[in-house]
Structure 1
């Protein structure tokens, strides 16, 4: 299918054999690009037709293929625009009261998932309050030790916490929505919905439905309407799912978190480090945009959202500013160690006990939490490594982009995370070997910080600290900084391997290595001299 699409784009026209094979291409004269083409809407299975049955003789549901129109002069709003087009087209075909949303890289893992969701919506006492039911996001291609981390703790601990404080956020996939809530209806205690058997007009042909629905998927349909503003999935954010969930909850609806024993849907995680970092940059940037906008939960949702739910969203909306604190403890302690400036109490001092206690308890809590939800100890170590990598690169670039956008120096861009990789990348991923095979400013930052801490330990080992001669005294005064540098060197071991020892195509490129070494040596020289 990918090959056919690319071939058609290169040719600029639809070959006769493909036009004859696929009815949807009948009206296509030419194809300029993936961003310039008319819509295709084709009823593949007409559920109203008595001949639409499976091999067991049971009726099949209506199945419709839709490609919405795209023109360069109209903003298509990425995923949000596609979802809104699907909402409108489905309202014309079935107008079903509930809508399931899953990403294109996910598949159903439990045929009973929808039935379980309906138990919430159709509850006679509390069902009328529920706008959507959110499943956790689970993945089928995770390695045993989750080399690039995972959303394990978020999905199994933090979303249930959301659920207890007013309802989980909408994460963009694995979610079943009530159509009225998704289309902008405000919640009311007097709202009563009568569930009736849905009957369609069998006299209407599939071809007439196709023709009518194409207008709903056109570029001009949303002009001067409330779509993307008060109706449907929200526009104007890199995390349209989070913004849409906030707007629904701000209208008085509540949501439900549902985690069955058998995962309902399985998706695919990025299999390269760069894709993972880019994905988290987009998430952090989009959520900080919401926090700094009129849709901040403390402003937008203060009337209908409880304060504890507003605070829950802040955990993610403030991901990006956390990068400054992380960059401080990654860089400043080593810099001051080289200059001979102690930042913490002596190891032998009573005031060192609180630091040891906090460090020990926080790490033990993190480890127990991760292992409790099914992870491994090595997986937890990988999670800590990714915690460091994301906060020093993804979140740092996210806040820089937000600053530039506020200064009107740039516009936010929706970057799609790559999920298709070649055999070498896939082999390294399965062997849990980090892949650094491309040049990126993110890799330059990671390598510079890793090398700077390594140079700091080397300098300490060869020269000690300039004004001290006794090793025991040095460790007593600078113990916490030395321990921190050792931990950072340990966490960054994959980077040292990719810089100095690896020969495969997944190593850090020579250009990145040279620049990083130069920056690390410059920082070390500034600290020492």
Structure 2
């Protein structure tokens, strides 16, 4: 009977009636808004092109809004049962290969990299079933030396973590956090392990950086989990630890992460060939030592496991500002949108914090009598996707592109604008943000859409048109500046050409030109 019990369960998020009422009424408002646009197109003239442009923009944002609601209509949560996993499989759990990628020891300090390595080596999982691979696309002797230091420190760190069940198991994060868990272990032992860690990082940080830009492939096993000497201070087996640097030649640009992942798959298939693969970025340490067991509850579930190919975990960041100054918080994404994506097939693979089945990445030979000892799959409850939030159009009394404020047709415009922003604010507050944080997020979305997103769009179009291959290379920045000039043509007209009441006063124009000239003359230090 026990073998038929599920290893995870799915729960629908409750309290969706108010949201669905809001979504339905906003959808009705959008339909009325579009109906007004279609039925009130002005006759041929100067305003017709602007009207049709507004219609196209509002239609696109309407489609975009519908897409964003698909992840909010019926969100779900997943709950795992690790106790059932332990009862059912005991020690017969699959091995796990863990891939960590780094490329530049200057932007990704080796002391940061080894903290990530140590956090995944210390998972609450049989050490003999864990193999950790570091791909160093920088080919740095410093990174190799840091990993060698970490292999020695692991003999002390891993038993310390498991003896006192500390979290997180990244030494940098653990010792940085002065609150919480330091009272779990004796002060003398804590001081000893902290001194060992600080001595190790000091040795790494004072080592001269050296790069290898032209070398053959390098694969070095620093800890062989099958060796007799690969044990920690408590006599327990250590995880396998492998350093890898791909072949480098100055004339070839082959230092991209996708290539590193392909190389890691090939190397690991020879050394350990474990059926589960976890890949993490070098700056994303694990903050949950049971992550592997949680993922296996999905893969090994007898009813649904065969439908699951990868399990994606969320990304979270330390030291976020209280008011989300830079609009980079992922709380709404993790708590709302990922839960919604999980109800419609699962979130996408985001490049880090993801467990894969090896056979999903590499394939397998088909056989009618093939039978798995355990199952496989395609998603999990958490992790990052896309951020959305469409921009509203300007709304003011007397604007020709919108109905007069007293006109009944103004109602859907006002309602859609207000309800969309009110619900967006509610989501932000529900996820722990502040009112100011929500406003900063809106501001940053505007900045991104007229800078980096626009730049990326222009660069993609340029490549599709083949402009990047011509002898005279048109810079993306030049195109972007030209687009910004075109966008601001109405302002230039108001400054220099218009003579009616809509013109910008000459004194304001003169002052603006003076400030711009002054800004260009100020040296950048």
Max Rg structure: 2
- Structure 2 length-normalised TM: 0.49
